[in-house]
Structure 1
Amino acid sequence: MNRNTLDAAHLSLEQKTTIDAGIDSIEEVVIAVTMAFSKDERRRYGSVNEQNKLFINKVNDYKENQPELKSPDVDWNKFEADYADRTFADTRMFRIENIMRMLSDFKIAHDYDNHKMSLKDYEYSQYKQGMEIPGFAEKVSELKQFFPHTKGGAKK
């Protein structure tokens, strides 16, 4: 590994295309069945907290294990379909959150490498400016703004 960078692996064009195709496919399927809630609707309908989820799970447990105790007033086919979909969504959201964390780590590594290499380029530009090579004074002047707390950097 290079001492100045993390040398993170890079995605090939084929890998990027595969990722985008997968995201496109997921979006296409989910958009067809998703309700677009307003902020108020999300607050109103999204009130099923962890305690209420445990309640739902317990009702489902009774339905499965002691069906003679279930209410005739509940549409149990719809209940089962809703239960299956919420379980599916929950597990897929967990997987997508893991993918988001992996992509975030991937991005952090490349951000870090870009920053280290940009600093190296800035140091080189300062060196060349000191040698009075044309163009480097302007470049260093432009880049100084990103170092407000150093000698010669922009002031607050």
Structure 2
Amino acid sequence: MPIENLGKTHLTEVEMEQINQALAAIEALVMPLTVNLNHKDKLGLCKVGEHNKLLINKVRDYAEMSPELRSPDVDWEEFRRDYATRSHASAAISRLQSLEGMLRDMKALNDHDNYTDALKDYRFAQYKTQSSQDAGYSTKAEQMKPFFPKTGKKKR
């Protein structure tokens, strides 16, 4: 017996609308602040991996604890704003990735349920085609048949 109805919880219309509104609000806040970089643009930027994050953090620590040691060539107010923005962006990305995982899992369960139900409905249409004179089932089964291109073909 196949596993059925794994997606036991469903979003209501109100919840779907609330999610859409929240996403639209985030997009509206972020859109004016972003620059759409193409691949070539990104290649020209330095990559800040874990090692370089440690360097940035160390420089920030020194700038805060020993301001007399700061380079006059750095706009430290801009550095502070950049740091705050990148830190917030990093935290937001982590949260969004977590939400993405939750939504992907929810979608996978509901995809599975929809697909198994679609297979049941197709089998039912095939059954009714053989046991009923109703042309609607025959038409339905024929229109669904292209989704199963290997069905009924014998291996050579």
TM-score by length of 2: 0.87
Q: C-alpha distance in 2, partners of 1:13/1:59? A: 49
Aligned to 1:57: 57
Aligned to 2:5: 5
Q: C-alpha distance in 2, partners of 1:139/1:94? A: 46
User: Cα offset for 1:132?
Assistant: 3.7
Identity of aligned residues (%): 38
Aligned to 1:102: 102
User: Cα offset for 1:145?
Assistant: 1.7
Please say if residues 144 and 152 of structure 1, whose CA atoms lie closer than 8 Å, have aligned partners that are also in contact. Answer: no
User: Cα offset for 1:152?
Assistant: 5.5
Aligned to 2:72: 72
Structure 1 vs Structure 2 CA RMSD = 2.2
Q: C-alpha distance in 2, partners of 1:149/1:132? A: 25
User: Which consecutive residues of structure 1, in runs of 5 or more, have no partner in the other structure?
Assistant: none
How many equivalent residue pairs?
Answer: 153
User: Cα offset for 1:141?
Assistant: 2.0
Letter in 2 for 1:149: K
User: Cα offset for 1:95?
Assistant: 0.5
User: Which consecutive residues of structure 2, in runs of 5 or more, have no partner in the other structure?
Assistant: none
Query: What pairs with 1:5-154 in structure 2 (closer than 5 Å)?
Result: 5-45=5-45, 47-133=47-133, 134-151=135-152
Q: 1:79 to 1:53 in 2, by over 3 A?
A: same
Counterpart secondary structure, 1:45? coil
Q: C-alpha distance in 1, partners of 2:19/2:116? A: 27
User: Cα offset for 1:59?
Assistant: 1.2
User: Cα offset for 1:84?
Assistant: 0.5
Please say if residues 8 and 106 of structure 1, whose CA atoms lie closer than 8 Å, have aligned partners that are also in contact. Answer: no
Choose between structure 1 and 2 for higher RCO, CA contacts under 8 A separated by at least 6 residues: 2
